[in-house]
Amino acid sequence: MIQEAVDLIMQRAVDPGMRDFNLNTVYCRDTSISQLLNLAQTLPFMSEKRLLIVKEIDLLKADDIEELLPYLHDPSPSTCLVMISHQARYDNKKVISAVETQGMVTRFFPLLDREILTWMEEWARTRNLTLQRDAALYLWQAVGNDLQKIKNELDKVGIFIHDKKAITLGDVKAVVGDFREYTSFAFAEALGKKDQERAFLILSRLMQEGEHPVGLLGLVAWNFRRLMQAKELERSGSTFEEIKRKLNVIFHQAFSFQEQIKRYSMDELQNVFEILLKTDEELKSSGLNNKLIMERMILKICRT
């Protein structure tokens, strides 16, 4: 999304035929502050504006910033200066305040899962294409939430379809590699978060790969048993740090596990085990399609 914004600025600020003369992209790890300021103060060549893109501004030292601030307060009117940090939140107040007096500070947030498909469809719309929903779902399932990877694959699909105006599931399958790995642990986590859409996606992939539903069910039951234990500990006055230690919750799973605990009451967890028992019986004796049985389980649990 940052790159899209930079591309739009580039289209507005610099004539394509003059970019070799009026466009510079520099990285703070490789560029001294004096070089940066010299570029910012350079006049455009046969053009109204020049564009300077400065990346990794979070690597600037305190002395560099003090040297940069006078320029930020009184910038060259013929230079469009774009400074980029990839920190979750760039928090140098002096720089932010100086930029806000002359221009704009914008923060980009990662898209939520529910926004990814809309973003893909918007990518197609701006190119006078339509992206069929099943094609978008397949691409999301294959690539995940990495927008750069999604865009790269969409660009390849756009070349593949030539003059067609609609991107179909077949087009995507013909072009897109399989990047995303789904695990039974991810399936159990999705149910623990009551994330119905993600649970459906992961179930579909795992069953395509030959995962047996009874094995999946066992792992789901294990995760819900941990959630029930956590609820009991919580009710007895244990802090989350104590719960993590007693249940051996791995550090990188802690945030997700805490979120899952909040999703369920003790009564709801007891209902989940009734659903799991019923699902186990159906898988072993009903003769119904296993995928259908598991999908019904997802619906029941996520609507608990």
pLDDT of residue 137: 85
How far, in Å, CA of 104 to CA of 269, rounded? 48
- In tens, the pLDDT along 112-155 reads 877 888 999 999 999 999 999 888 888 887 777 788 889 999 99
pTM higher than the cut 0.85: no
Query: pLDDT at residue 177 above 90?
Result: no
Is pLDDT at 47 greater than 80 in this prediction?
yes
Confidence band (pLDDT; 50, 70, 90) for 180?
low
What domains appear along the chain, each with residue ranges and CATH number? 2-102 (3.40.50.300), 113-175 (1.10.8.60), 184-302 (1.20.272.10)
